[in-house]
Amino acid sequence: MNAVAAEDDVRLAVQRLKRERIVAAAVTQFEQRGFSQASLDAVAEQMGVTKPFIYTQFRSKSELLGEICSRAMRIALQAIDEALKDYDTPREQLEQFARLMMLGILRSGKHLAIYMREEKNLSADDYQLIRKLRREVDEKLVSILERGVKEGVFEVSDPRLAAIAIGGIATWVGVRLGQSTRYSVEQVADGIVPLVLSLSGANRATR
């Protein structure tokens, strides 16, 4: 690696660190005050920087919201892509998707809760982007379920409805237990798998 490339890598790493710091502070402000009442001044104050520091990474409070909300959806997309890449059978893919998605939701903090509460405040462009990501997840999940039905390992009459139900249970469990001290992240992730399999009709199909 030459000196120019190394310098570029350092610069990118610094930029990523700045973005992560800003996003973390914005998550706190949006969660505590709500998007409408939160301000970039408050985000900057929490970070101990001036507002121009934020503008080096984000053009507006709305763009920050879009970044936070899109991350919530990208967690599910990454989970299903990894499950499809690493496992062959529909059951294994569904199990891994459910577990990885729950781990991602719980470890991401409050991103999903903010998305569910503040979706109405997204810009039109960010709203459409997140809808596109959600459709991609849904289509891949439906494909897993349809293949499982065809192979006799799942038993659902409407794979698309089952996909919505699976996404819904993971979402609500993640929001409700995101700050739980009763269960560990791993316990919740492991516990969600049999619930998701039940929604897929996996147990009925193997009887």
CATH code for the domain in which residue 50 is found: 1.10.10.60
**CA 81, 189, 66, 113: dihedral to nearest 10 degrees?**
160
- 3 with 82, same domain? no
Say if residues 205 and 154 touch (Cβ distance below 8 Å). yes
- 195 with 120, same domain? yes
Work out the pLDDT band at 3, boundaries 50, 70, 90: low
65 domain residue, yes or no: no
Comparing CA positions, the residue from 137, 133, 116 lying closest to residue 125 is 133
CB contact set of 15 (below 8 Å; sequence gap of 6+): 57
Over residues 120-170, the pLDDT tens digits come to: 999 999 999 999 999 999 999 999 999 999 999 999 999 999 999 998 888
- 9 with 82, same domain? no
Domain count, the chain: 2
pLDDT greater than 60 at residue 1: no
**CATH code at 117?**
1.10.357.10
Say if residues 73 and 104 touch (Cβ distance below 8 Å). no
Tell me the pLDDT of the chain averaged across its residues: 89
179 domain residue, yes or no: yes
- 125 with 45, same domain? no
- 126 with 168, same domain? yes
Over residues 81-123, the pLDDT tens digits come to: 999 999 999 999 999 999 999 999 888 878 888 998 999 999 9
Distances in whole angstroms, Cα of residue 42 to Cα of each of 13, 25, 51, 132, 162 = 25, 9, 9, 31, 42
- 100 with 190, same domain? yes
How far is Cα 32 from Cα 37, in angstroms, rounded to an integer? 9
Phi, psi values for residue 8, rounded to 5°: -65, -40
- 18 with 109, same domain? no
- 96 with 12, same domain? no
Q: 127 is written with which tokens?
A: 């709203």
- pLDDT confidence of residue 7: 59
Say if residues 39 and 60 touch (Cβ distance below 8 Å). no
How far is Cα 83 from Cα 145, in angstroms, rounded to an integer? 13
- CA 17 to mean position of chain CA atoms: 20
- pLDDT confidence of residue 185: 86
Long-range CB contact pairs, 29-36, < 8 A, 24+:
30/65, 30/68, 30/110, 30/114, 30/118, 31/110, 31/113, 31/114, 34/117, 34/118, 35/61, 35/65, 35/114, 35/118, 35/121, 36/121
- 51 with 122, same domain? no
- 182 with 130, same domain? yes
Residue 54 sits in which domain range? 1-58
- pLDDT confidence of residue 90: 96
- 50 with 102, same domain? no
